[in-house]
Amino acid sequence: MKFQIEDVTVYFPYDYIYPEQYEYMVELKRALDARGHCLLEMPTGTGKTVALLSLITSYALARPSPPLKLLYCTRTVHEMEKTLAELRLLHSHLPPTHRSLALGLSSRKNLCVNPYVLSSASRDSVDSACRRLTASWVRAAAAEQPPGAVPTCSFFESYDRAASSGPDAVLLPPGVYTLGDLRALGREKGWCPYFLARQMIRYANVVVYSYQYLLDPKVAGIISREMQRECVVVFDEAHNIDNVCIEALSVSVRRQTLDGATRNLHRMAQEIDRFKATDASRLRAEYNRLVEGLAQRGNLALTDAWLSNPALPDDILKEAVPGNIRRAEHFLSVLRRLVQYLKGRLQTENVETERPVDFVASVSSQAGIDQKMLRFCYDRLHSLMLTLEITDTDEFLHIQTICDFATLVGTYMQGFSIIIEPFDERMPHIPDPVLQLSCHDASLAIKPVFDRFQSVIITSGTLSPIDLYPRLLNFNPVISRSFTMSLTRDCICPMVLTRGSDQLPVSTKFDMRSDPGVVRNYGRLLLEMVAAVPDGIVCFFVSYSYMDGIVNSWNEMGILQDVMQHKLVFIETQDVVETTLALDNYRRACDCGRGAVFFSVARGKVAEGIDFDRHYGRLVIMFGVPFQYTLSRILIARLEYLRNTFQIKEGDFLTFDALRQAAQCVGRVIRSKADYGMMIFADKRYSRHDKRSKLPGWILSHLHDAHLNLSTDMALHIAREFLRRMAQPYDKAGTGGRKTLLSQEDLEKMGEDPMNMF
Amino acid sequence: MAVINMAAKYKTTVKEPGTPGVLRMSEDKFIFVPNDPRSAMKLNVNFRNIKGHKFSKDGSKQALLNLTQDSEKGGGYIFEFDNFSDRNVCRDFVGKVLGKFQAVTSSRQNEQPVPEKPAATVHSEQLSTTEMERRMKLLWEDSELQKLHKQFVIGGVLTESEFWATRKSLLDDVVQRTPKQRAGFRSAMLADVRPSTDGRTNKVTFSLTPEIIHQIFAEKPAVHRAFLNFVPIKMTEKDFWTKYCRAEYLHRTKNSVAAAAEAAEDEELAVFLKHDDILANEARCKIRRVDPTLDMEADLGDDYIHLPDHGILRDGSKETADAENELARRTLSQDLNRHATVVLEGRALDVELGDTRTAAEALARSKQELCTETSDEKTNQERLEKVSRMTEIEDLQAPHSLPYAPLCIKDPREYFDSQQANAVKALGDTGAGIKPVDFSLKTEEAYTYLLEQISEVKVRGLNNLVVQPEATLKVLNGLNPYLSSTKYHLGKKPQECVLDMLPNRTKDELLHHWTSIQELLRHFWSSYPITTAYLYNKVLRLKDAMTHIYHKLQEIKEAVQSDFRHQVSLLVQPMLQALDAAFAHYDTEQQKQSTKSGNKPNGFVQ
């Protein structure tokens, strides 16, 4: 369908539209008009993504100059695939003259088609295997020697030949390219899909990639450097964006890291000696380049591009590298001293917490390395490794980590802390010392994004309380709004279960969670539900260890065997491959009508981005409140920082964080208004007002007072009633004054009569 | 079937000594000839009169066989045999014969016996027992079919083969359906064998059944491979399972130190404790075919937080369980996932679970087949389609036409009748009984309203024509007679139909006649053109039967109470018409024959 929002013609790929989608688009358009950032919370299951894509694409078509580019950030690759699929649907509804180019970008591992490189298993060996074939010096050597003597990548060579005649020669025809499409295209044409995609993001109208490509300064430097200001950046499913920002700037150093770094340094010293003997001019040339400043890094060959400096402000890049680390040997000895110092710090018996200022001072006095030298470590290492023509970069990860750490600690004085722990709190008998540089200020990583691009849109199903995010991320949204869901029928049914079948309270509170009565009550709840609910059921637990424990207990008690009489059981494990296969099988079991239960972990990978819509999830049970591990030193340090800087109370933040996770877990059951699902919050603490009120409004509005304090048998009764009600035919378009489904005519009528809107 | 001759004693009661003689059993009757020709105890009984048979247990005092007669005729024929093996031969034979007649005799209860015509058996062809059983099963399942069969085949109108010829598809269906159903794996985790202790000693007992072993093979390819490699060359099957159970026990007790020690000593035992490399390979192969919208493995390389030492390491959300020991890595979660996967894949082989070795080999074969079938292109295409289908929001657009399987109801009338009955009952239960009255009021209102409208239109004429007036008139005229006749009897309840108002007997008869007529007419029309004498005879027979039914229908029509007469005649009319058409056809054909071959005195077509 096609309709007008003010002066923009919006192309929408469906025959009908939800009113909240329309409102969402209106708000979005205002934000784009104002060229400002915005924050929008809309319930899951109302077609957020398609509304976003459709409005921004239409907006770009309506205002062709300056060309507006959409950078769409997803958290995971599979979400990227989903977004591209929606984009493809939208594309088929655009007028043929308005076709645009959209593509997904991922790492070499997901895009490479070279069979030799692919045979290496992990990401880093794919990266370094690629470099081994495509680094500029390798190619130079291959050009000098007879063909075949030095292996190169045929895909990259043919791409390079094609691209050398100008960017038009490799320009992709308009369309939507998923990772699979890019790979297929690469195989067909013999071009390297990875470098093709890297090249194409300059010309593409829509780029879909992972958060890290904008937030992690190391990656953002090379991938997103050339994006112009006229970009709309969308962070979808952004309820965890503060955690992503924090992780992007956090580094930890373990004993293995230091040992590895020592080995790396040793090898680099050997390389330097070799170069001194054979090709001393290279080292001299590097020295001269460093005198002129690092800013010249810009014109490196495409394939040599490196993860760039972690978050150095631009003005620093114009400075020259300090004189005392310009010579390769000097720099190596600085690194050696640093590694030695860190080794000394790790040999502590107690937990130590330090601010970066103190740490830098101590490094300076004990190892003789000042702040400026620390700050340049990462770039200096990068330069040195290029000079030494090191291709097997995955061997040198350890020293990179050390330099990363040094640069961060030398750059930021605020918002970080250094925590040294001699062992893991939960396993005190195993010595495993860790030095962690942890970032507390989420705004540091996202600041360049807000500064650089004209509109940044942060959206998710759970952004409650919506006023907290601008504070955490330190920005001023022009529009910040939370939408509710207009429903034709009550298609979600949240319940709070506080008591088990024996009327005793259930909770995952620390003192209660291992109580066999609670474990049994939780098991009985699941057992009753698998017998009553058709198709798929998803269970979320508070942590892996808790899940393992309770599943084992259920197995011993025989509850698991009874559950298996009704449904197959699949479990998320820490092994990603196994979890993926389990999910795939779970879906198949739901498809074929067998029915299945999936056990998963809140804050785990599955909770992050897998949808359990339609028959894949008719019921979600959230066992317990997913609080963070409150004894963690890092969390304590972060809470302290939040209290001092933003005046956010510890308890409030913890509850907010736990409830947004819980809401995120249960929110995955709804995809559209035709869909339906139940949500059981199984913990007595949910019935307390201070916890419950932190849930997003669209869940709260369906949480009746009668459903606040249930026991297993009552919940079962409600579930049966609900399922029976949902099985009845209903009027999709909504009746009476409030329509829940709008057709093109409705929208046109609304356009004529703006007073009558909603 | 053959004829059996057996020496036996005939008695009228169990107590009496009995008359020695020879029992001769053939397919349709048994004859007892006493050894003493003067004895009056001669028997010649048709099996049709036999209701059932009883016999004494093997090893009891006497080897008896009692052929019980219809209850109203009383008594039975008791035979005592010399030994049990003789008795058993006869018993089996009787069982078979009675089984064959059961379909016929069972339907005899509330009907008067149909005169038996020897003609029925003249055309009986040689049939395999399986074919026979299949037919009998069909008759058993479908009471209507049984009735027809009884009426026409036993009644001599149609031959057995003629009757079944039109129902070949039914028979084939049965043949096809039976082997299709294959039992899958049980949902229960059998492979998770739990040891039982006797409580007194330290002995632990594991019990394995073929079913469990099969599941172990399917879920643990390493054990399966080990079995194929080791048994019986290296060790016996018993040793193999003992070792396996020992490994399981070590695993269960979570005694990783002991497990490691044992594994170091015994390399065969280590096989059971080690990580399963076949599974790992399979997983690697499968992960490529996984739906990209849930491929979490692709993320691993995409964000840099997953690089070692980046991001927050120890904040409690990630738990780094170090794999200190290769042996202790198998967890319950993995077992559960594996089990569910195997159950979902289903059982791929059809061997009896008796012999372990053959089961293992069959499994290996089926696995090989599985590995070779990989049409990547096609699956990829399917996956893409699925993804695009999944991304669409269903209620924002018109529904897709999904492929559907046609609904097959074997006996539609029975099904719908029962549904209707249920619906009526449910209505009555919920107290919505007033509803029909309400409805009838509305129809009347609607009727008067319609009348008014029509008269109005007649007066004023139509301004804006919705429908053509001629068409409307035609429809109204067509409806009116029907309305007027049924207005007061019908339509009061929407679920009601004319048949329900008739007395039960009349209704059943009508329905029965209707199906009979259908059957007869089908045969009748399919016999034309008449080319052989056989067909001619058949048509004659059919015509006779049809005339018979015709008269019956007339009788019903007349016998029925006056207030139903109109409805009944309405119902009967189409049947009579169909029959009339058939008779007319027959007569014209007959005339043609006679004019064409008038010189032939007998009128037969040779």
Which candidate, B100, B14, B104, places its Cα nearest to that of B55? B14
Of the candidates A263, A637, A636, A264, the one whose C-alpha atom is nearest the C-alpha of residue A415 is: A637
Alpha carbon separation from A750 to A25, A486, A577, A673 (Å, rounded): 15, 17, 50, 22
8 Å CB contact between A3 and A26: no
Q: Is B62 helix (H, G, I), strand (E, B) or coil?
A: coil
- A290-349 pLDDT tens trace: 776 554 454 455 555 544 444 455 545 556 677 788 888 899 999 999 999 999 999 888
Partner A contacted by B294 (CB < 8 A): yes
Q: What is the pLDDT of residue A625?
A: 93
Q: B413-442: per-residue pLDDT in tens?
A: 777 777 777 666 655 554 444 444 444 556
Q: Nearest Cβ partner of B337 from A109, A570, A606?
A: A570
Question: Touching check for B281 and chain A: CB below 8 Å?
Answer: no
> CA B97 to CA B51: how far, in whole Å?
11
Burial of B385 (0-12, 13-18, 19+ CB in 10 A): exposed
Q: Stretch A516-528: mean pLDDT, rounded? A: 94
SS3 A61: helix
Q: Tens digits of per-residue pLDDT, A547-556? A: 989 999 999 8
- Tell me: the pLDDT tens digits for A451-480? 888 899 999 988 878 888 998 898 999 999
| Inter-CA distances, A152 with A132, A134, A579, B295, B529, Å | 8, 6, 36, 30, 83
Confidence of residue B143 (pLDDT cuts 50, 70, 90): confident
What is the DSSP secondary-structure string of A283-300? Answer: HHHHHHHHHH-GGGGGG-
Stretch 52-111 of chain B: residues touching chain A, C-beta under 8 Å: none
| Nearest CA-CA partner of A641 in A471, A465, A477, A449 | A471
Give B-chain residues touching A421 at CB under 8 angstroms: 314
Q: In this complex, is the C-beta atom of A33 within 8 Å of any C-beta atom belonging to chain B?
A: no
Secondary structure (3-state) at B403: coil
Q: What's the gap in Å between the CA of B276 and the closest CA on chain A? A: 13
Chain A CB within 8 Å of residue B304 CB: yes
Judge whether A493 and A718 are in contact, CB under 8 Å. yes
Report pLDDT for B348. Answer: 56
Nearest by CB: B298 against A78, A218, A250 = A78
Residues of B in contact with A579 (CB under 8 A): 296
Q: State pLDDT tens for residues A632-690.
A: 888 888 999 989 988 889 998 999 999 989 998 898 888 788 889 999 999 999 999 88
Average per-residue pLDDT for chain A: 85
Residues written for chain A: 758
User: Would you state the structure tokens that stand for residue A721, as one six-digit string?
Assistant: 């009633």
Q: Is pLDDT above 90 for B90?
A: no
- H/E run at residue A439: strand A431-439
Nearest to A475 by CA among A245, A665, A231, A729: A245
Do the Cβ atoms of A583 and B301 come within 8 Å?
no
In this prediction, residue B110 carries a pLDDT of 40
Kindly indicate the confidence band of residue B56, based on its pLDDT and cuts at 50, 70 and 90.
confident
Lowest mean pLDDT among A125-139, A178-192, A238-252, B36-50: B36-50
- Whole-number Å distance between alpha carbons of A100 and B557: 78
Coil vs helix vs strand at B67: strand
Q: Please state, for a pLDDT cut of 90, what percent of chain B lies above it.
A: 0
Helix axes A516-532, A544-557, angle to 10 degrees: 80
What are the tokens at A369? 């390395």
Residue A477 exposed, middle or buried by CB count within 10 Å (0-12, 13-18, 19+): buried
Residues 64-103 on A with a CB inside 8 Å of B are: 76-79, 81-82, 85-86, 88-89
Q: Flag whether pLDDT at A279 surpasses 60.
A: yes
Q: Band of the pLDDT at B495, cuts 50, 70, 90?
A: very low
CA distances to A125, A367, A379, B308 from A267, in Å: 19, 22, 19, 20
Tell me the two tokens of residue B150: 């009884």
Q: For the purposes of burial, counting CB atoms within 10 Å of the CB of A333, is it exposed (0-12), middle (13-18) or buried (19 or more)? A: middle
Residues 97-136 of A with CB under 8 A from B: 106-110, 122-124, 126
B294 closest CB neighbour out of A78, A397, A674? A78
Do residues A665 and A602 make contact, with C-beta atoms less than 8 angstroms apart? yes
Q: Which of residues 320-359 of B touch A (CB under 8 A)?
A: 321, 331-334, 336-337, 339-341, 343-344
pLDDT given for residue A596 in this prediction: 94
Q: By the CB < 8 Å criterion, does B194 face chain A?
A: no
A484: its two tokens: 């509710």
Is 90 exceeded by the pLDDT of residue A586? Answer: yes
Radius of gyration of chain B (CA): 38
Contact A581 B392 (CB under 8 A): no
CB contact under 8 A, B336 and A603: no
Residue of B187, B207, B202, B201 lying closest to B248 (CA atoms): B207
What is the token pair recorded at A617?
Answer: 């999830």
Q: For residues B266 and B520, which has the higher predicted lDDT (pLDDT)?
A: B520
Which tops the pLDDT comparison, B93 or B120? B93
B199-226 pLDDT tens trace: 677 777 777 887 788 888 888 888 888 8
Alpha carbons A28 and A236: distance in angstroms, whole number: 14
CB contact under 8 A, A253 and B309: yes
- Quick one: tokens of A184? 């297929």
Q: Tell me which chain B residues have a C-beta less than 8 angstroms from the C-beta of A577.
A: 283-284, 287, 297
Q: Within an 8 Å CB–CB cutoff, is residue B298 touching chain A? A: yes
Contact A606 B296 (CB under 8 A): yes
E strand or H helix at A458: strand A455-460
pLDDT (tens digit per residue) in A411-434? 888 889 999 988 877 777 778 888
β-partners of residue A70 are A206, A232
Give me the domains of chain A, ranges plus CATH numbers.
Answer: 1-105+201-247+443-486+734-758 (3.40.50.300), 250-411 (no CATH), 492-726 (3.40.50.300)
For the ranges A275-279, A490-494, A598-602, B151-155, the lowest mean pLDDT is seen at B151-155
Token readout for A381 is 């290492």
pLDDT of residue B324: 44
Report, as an integer, the average pLDDT of A108-117. 84
What is the percent of chain B where pLDDT is above 70? Answer: 67
In the predicted model, what is the mean pLDDT of residues A27-35?
Answer: 92
- Whether B323 has a pLDDT exceeding 50, the answer reads no
Q: What pLDDT score was predicted for residue A150?
A: 82
The mean per-residue pLDDT over the stretch B381-410 comes to 70
**In this predicted model, which residue has the larger pLDDT, A308 or A544?**
A544
In degrees and rounded to multiples of 5, residue A419 shows phi and psi of: -125, 125
Which chain B residues are within 8 Å of A88, Cβ to Cβ?
Answer: 388
Name which of B294, B304, B333 is nearest A584 (Cβ-Cβ). B294
Closest by Cα among A371, A284, A366, A380 to A332: A380
In this prediction, residue A341 carries a pLDDT of 94
Residues of A in contact with B376 (CB under 8 A): none
pLDDT at residue A574 greater than cutoff 80: yes
Identify the pLDDT of residue A121: 60
Q: Alpha carbon B257 to chain centroid distance?
A: 56
Shortest alpha-carbon distance between residue A373 and chain B (Å): 22
More confident residue, A565 or B294: A565
Structure tokens at A334: 């600085």
CB A141 within 8 A of CB A391: no
Contacting residues of B for A629, CB less than 8 Å apart: 315-317
Read off the pLDDT band of A531 (50, 70, 90): very high
Residue B303, pLDDT score: 53
